[in-house]
């Protein structure tokens, strides 16, 4: 099975049985996907590595798209490989970063991934210590995403992002940040032009079904049917 949840922010308890009570029934073939701000690759200290080692003992596979609160320089140091049709960084044997602009085939589901968002609290952070410019996509990533979607005839079963399309941000009664407009505008183009079944995103720290196709996630763990 595939399960999807929102930002975990380096909180180990999010992978406890409090949030995943069905853990005993899962195997490595089962996948839990985090919609960005995974947060376990940030300080890169001994404690963080210890927690990653603990998570590597979980019976299921953990995947995540990147959010804006990730240490991208550290993340990019992990080996890159092909997995289920798309590019990933392998963090541990069962922990994978799903890179931007990929289409993965996981358990007969085509899943498009496009992480990233703007840190609105940059003024409180330090460049390359607590935020990284790579939090926002670059032109090659937009291009690769478009090409991947075209190869799949602009149709996928599931879309996973960190932030949301402009249309959905308005549904949240919020406003897109001006620094984020290229990304949220691109996601809005995808929302209008791509044939998709379900879309899940994090970032906005709410659990809310916005329409029959789109859901914002934070603490909820949703099983993909």
Three-state SS annotation for 99-163: CCCEEEEECCEEEEEECCCCCCCHHHCCECCCECHHHCCCHHHHHHHHHHHHHCCCEEEEEEECC
User: Taking residues 122-144, what's their average pLDDT?
Assistant: 97
Sheet of strand 208-209: strand arrangement: 102-106, 109-114, 155-161, 195-201, 214-216, 208-209
Range of the domain at 189: 2-223
* Averaged pLDDT of the chain: 97
Query: Cα–Cα distance between 153 and 155 in angstroms, integer?
Result: 5
User: Taking residues 208-218, what's their average pLDDT?
Assistant: 98
Query: Cα–Cα distance between 28 and 94 in angstroms, integer?
Result: 7
DSSP 73: H
Predicted local confidence at residue 167, as pLDDT: 96
**Predicted model pTM:** 0.97
User: Taking residues 180-207, what's their average pLDDT?
Assistant: 98
CATH no. for residue 114?
3.60.21
- What is the count of structural domains for the chain? 1
- In the three-class reduction of DSSP (H, G, I as helix; E, B as strand; rest coil), residue 74 is classed as helix
Tens-place pLDDT, residues 67-92: 999 999 999 999 999 999 999 999 99
Predicted local confidence at residue 172, as pLDDT: 94
Predicted local confidence at residue 175, as pLDDT: 87
Query: Cα–Cα distance between 195 and 153 in angstroms, integer?
Result: 9
Query: Cα–Cα distance between 217 and 34 in angstroms, integer?
Result: 9
Percent of residues, the chain, with pLDDT higher than 70:
100
User: Taking residues 47-64, what's their average pLDDT?
Assistant: 98
Nearest to 91, CA basis, from 125, 128, 122, 54:
54
183 to each of 7, 116, 145, 202, 218, how far by Cα in Å?
Answer: 18, 8, 12, 14, 20
- In the three-class reduction of DSSP (H, G, I as helix; E, B as strand; rest coil), residue 175 is classed as coil
Tens-place pLDDT, residues 188-200: 999 999 999 999 9
Predicted local confidence at residue 177, as pLDDT: 87
Q: At residue 176, does pLDDT exceed 90? A: no
- In the three-class reduction of DSSP (H, G, I as helix; E, B as strand; rest coil), residue 183 is classed as helix
Predicted local confidence at residue 52, as pLDDT: 98
Predicted local confidence at residue 170, as pLDDT: 94
User: Taking residues 109-124, what's their average pLDDT?
Assistant: 97
């Amino acid at each position: 099975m595939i399960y999807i949840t929102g930002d975990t922010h380096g909180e180990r308890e999010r992978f406890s049985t409090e949030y995943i009570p069905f853990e005993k029934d899962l195997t490595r073939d089962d996948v839990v996907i985090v919609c960005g701000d995974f947060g376990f690759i940030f300080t890169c200290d001994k404690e963080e590595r210890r927690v990653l080692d603990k998570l590597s003992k979980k019976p299921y596979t953990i995947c995540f798209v990147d959010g804006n609160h990730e240490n991208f320089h550290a993340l990019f140091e992990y080996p890159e490989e092909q997995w289920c049709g798309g590019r990933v960084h392998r963090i541990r044997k069962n922990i994978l970063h799903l890179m931007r602009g990929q289409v993965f085939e996981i358990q007969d589901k085509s899943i498009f991934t496009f992480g990233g968002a703007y840190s609105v609290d940059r003024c409180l952070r330090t460049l390359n210590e607590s935020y990284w410019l790579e939090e926002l996509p670059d032109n090659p990533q937009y291009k690769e995403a478009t090409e991947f979607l075209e190869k799949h005839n602009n149709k996928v079963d599931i879309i996973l992002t960190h932030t949301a399309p402009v249309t959905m941000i308005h549904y949240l009664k919020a406003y897109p940040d001006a620094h984020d407009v290229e990304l949220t505008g691109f996601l809005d183009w995808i929302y209008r032009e791509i044939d998709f079944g379900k879309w899940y995103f994090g970032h906005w720290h709410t659990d809310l079904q916005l329409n029959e196709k789109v859901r914002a996630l934070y603490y909820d763990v949703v099983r993909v049917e």
